[in-house]
């Protein structure tokens, strides 16, 4: 989900609460805070020598001991509006950063809304090779060239059977 879609969802449901469904099927405590809106930029070189760059909107989740705290979608929309100048584009993906148990960035896999709540289903990030054409061995699934010969094979009765292998 990109930042413009995320912001639109929050603005369309300003009085809704929010739930973060974590990849292990648990949920973040309902009294979580969003303590940072970060514009994270990454420039990197893949194993094939190609340069890449990406930017992500990262919302840092923090859980305190103020158990009555609840953040509403409208308040988060206002926070994102105040941070909008951090982003060159609204087309950047949104991730939550949560201690689960170590600080981990969790992309939004899907969302659900009902009359009172927006549930963000979060997933784990996956590593991938961006230069598979260079790094992975070429795979040839064709059959090898087998010479056309008659190969004798003995059966259990002692007679000879002939197998003819053709391409």
Say if 140 falls within a structural domain: no
Q: 3-state DSSP call for residue 39?
A: strand
Residues 10 and 76: beta-carbon distance below 8 Å: yes
Residues contacting 10, CB < 8 A, separation 6+ = 73, 74, 76, 77, 80, 118
What is the rounded CA–CA span in Å between residue 151 and residue 162? 6
Say if 28 falls within a structural domain: yes
Tokens coding 157 = 């009765």
Say if 88 falls within a structural domain: yes
Say if 99 falls within a structural domain: yes
Say if 74 falls within a structural domain: yes
Residues 148 and 165: beta-carbon distance below 8 Å: yes
Among 17, 14, 104, residue whose Cα is nearest residue 59? 104
In angstroms, what is the C-alpha Rg of the chain?
Answer: 28
Spell out the per-residue pLDDT of the chain, length 167, in tens. 999 999 999 999 999 999 999 999 999 999 999 999 999 999 999 999 999 999 999 999 999 999 999 999 999 999 999 999 999 999 999 999 999 789 999 999 999 999 999 999 999 999 999 998 887 777 666 666 766 666 555 555 555 555 566 55
Say if 7 falls within a structural domain: yes
Number of domains within the chain: 1
Say if 92 falls within a structural domain: yes
Residues contacting 9, CB < 8 A, separation 6+ = 1, 73, 111, 113, 118
Say if 156 falls within a structural domain: no
Give the chain's end-to-end CA distance (angstroms, integer).
51
Domain residue limits at 120: 3-125
């Amino acid at each position: 989900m990109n930042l413009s879609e995320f912001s639109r969802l929050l603005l369309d449901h300003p009085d809704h609460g929010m739930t973060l469904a974590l990849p292990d099927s648990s949920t973040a405590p309902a009294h979580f805070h969003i303590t940072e809106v970060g514009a994270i930029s990454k420039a990197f070189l893949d194993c094939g020598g190609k340069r890449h760059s990406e930017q992500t909107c990262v919302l840092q989740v923090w859980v305190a001991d103020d158990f009555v705290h609840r953040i509403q979608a409208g308040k988060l929309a206002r926070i994102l509006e105040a941070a909008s100048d951090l982003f060159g584009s609204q087309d950047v993906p949104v991730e939550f950063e949560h201690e689960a148990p170590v600080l981990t960035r969790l992309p939004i896999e899907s969302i659900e809304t009902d009359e009172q709540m927006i549930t963000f289903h979060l997933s784990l990030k996956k590593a991938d090779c961006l230069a598979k054409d260079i790094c992975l061995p070429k795979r040839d699934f064709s059959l090898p060239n087998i010479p056309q010969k008659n190969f004798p094979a003995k059966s259990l009765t002692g007679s000879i059977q002939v197998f003819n292998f053709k391409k």
